[in-house]
Amino acid sequence: MLSFAPLNSAAGSGEEIPSVIRVAISRNTNQFKLVTSAKVYALEVKTGQKYMLLERSIYEVKYVNPTHLAVAGETLESPVKLLAADGGDCVKINGHFYKGDLYMKTTAAEKLEVIEHLSVEDYLCGVLPVEMSPDWPLEALKAQAVASRTYALKNIDPKKDYDITDGVETQVYNGASGMNSRIIDAVRSTRGEVLKYKEKLITAFFHACCGGHTASASSAWGEDVIKPLYGVRDPFCSDSIHSSWEYYATARDLLSFIQKKGSSALKIKGVRISERDRSGRALKLKFATDAGSFTAAAAELRKNFGTYDIKSTFITRITPGSGGYEFYGRGWGHGVGMCQEGAKHMALNGKNYKKILRQYYPGTSIGDVND
């Protein structure tokens, strides 16, 4: 049977939630492996020509030319839709299972991409287990569901090839893997609920731990500051293991960093924080060198050393050591929006998800997306 499922099929109840999100689950690649767990049809969308892929098999998918791709050596016209024969978990790509409608296509940049179309609610069930631990308190998971739903819907843009990616640059999504009943409960019990400010969806950023004060979206990325993303004091995450960090950077690595940024120095004589934002995060660092002083953005330093080593720009002090400098800081992540460690603490202390969201996105209203 050849038929296209209606795009909002997974939403179920027929209510008017912007029902479908298009997630890029593979991009900028010349080839990838497709693993089937059940029988799958590869359908040329334009011609209706259908090819059968066997269950529990591995197929190589390759870019051929701007209009064609190859599956197991067979050339097919792009785009190609993958149809599950039984409607269950059927296709595995890059180690993850996907339940939505999958489209493989060639791009103008002569690459392949795979886009999954699925309901926003199903998508959230795949985001929550990776963006917040599934065993965290239910009210924290519900706060995350509302934040992630708002963030996702804010990204929907029919003019683009897809709405959102599946990586850390937006919010991480690993398909249908990792779902459990608590995740489903958190998504269902907040179904359709979003955060709005002045009637508009907000970009509901979130992060692991703020270290005592959330950051302003303005100092993090130069975004227009609206009240909910201005940054708030957070007394709730101080017990978190991420509330403070230390990192020892060698003088040699620091020198190489400032040289990359344009300094002609051959020796670093000292480093200090020369500018902070309202939340206390470092904006600029000043290096004293044999070639005079050199200023670099704290965000660039973090990017250079890695976000797992310099966990935030909330650098509180820098002390000289033998052959390097010890950096002390607070929190983990960009610091904008909801602090997940604080949300967990609030939930453990009996606060509900609405209270949590009001703490981290002050001034927003929580309501149905269609209201």
Cβ nearer to Zn ion, comparing 237 with 282: 237
Cβ nearer to Zn ion, comparing 22 with 213: 213
Sheet of strand 315-321, all strands in order from the earlier edge strand to the far edge: 245-250, 324-329, 315-321
Whether cis (ω within 30° of 0) applies to the bond prior to 129 is no
Token digits for 128?
A: 């929550």
User: Which DSSP string corresponds to 168-225?
Assistant: TTS----TTTT--HHHHHHHHTTTTEEEEETTEE----EESB-TTBPBPHHHHH-PPP
The residue from 42, 339, 346, 347 that contacts Zn ion (CB under 5 A) is 339
Q: How far is the CB of 213 from Zn ion (least distance, A)?
A: 8
Cβ nearer to Zn ion, comparing 191 with 242: 242
| Buried/exposed code over 177-198 (b: 16+ C-beta within 10 A; e: otherwise) | ebbeebbeebbeebbbbbbbbe
The count of other CB atoms within 10 Å of the CB of residue 88 is: 11
Token digits for 25?
A: 């689950």
Cβ nearer to Zn ion, comparing 136 with 294: 136
Residues 225-244: x where in contact with Zn ion by CB under 5 A, - otherwise, as a string: ---------x--x-------
Could you say whether residue 166 binds Zn ion (CB under 5 A)? Answer: no
With CB under 5 A as the contact rule, which of the stretches 244-252, 280-288, 317-325, 339-347 interacts with Zn ion? 339-347
The residue from 43, 210, 268, 356 that contacts Zn ion (CB under 5 A) is 210
How many chain residues touch Zn ion (CB under 5 A)? 5
The residue from 342, 346, 358, 361 that contacts Zn ion (CB under 5 A) is 342
Residues 31-60: x where in contact with Zn ion by CB under 5 A, - otherwise, as a string: ------------------------------
HEC readout, 88-144: CCCEEECCEEECCEEEEEECCCCCEEEEEEEEHHHHHHHHHHHHCCCCCCHHHHHHH
In this structure, are residues 238 and 331 in contact, taking their beta carbons and an 8 Å threshold?
Answer: no
Cβ nearer to Zn ion, comparing 210 with 268: 210
Could you say whether residue 336 binds Zn ion (CB under 5 A)? Answer: no
Q: How far is the CB of 311 from Zn ion (least distance, A)?
A: 13
With CB under 5 A as the contact rule, which of the stretches 16-24, 48-56, 96-104, 208-216 interacts with Zn ion? 208-216
Q: How far is the CB of 209 from Zn ion (least distance, A)?
A: 5
Cβ nearer to Zn ion, comparing 201 with 210: 210
**What residue type is 354 in one-letter code?**
K
Cβ nearer to Zn ion, comparing 79 with 342: 342
C-alpha to C-alpha distance for 205 and 114, rounded to whole angstroms: 25
> What are the backbone dihedrals phi and psi of residue 141, each rounded to the nearest 5 degrees, phi first?
-65, -35
Binding site for Zn ion (CB under 5 A): 210, 234, 237, 339, 342
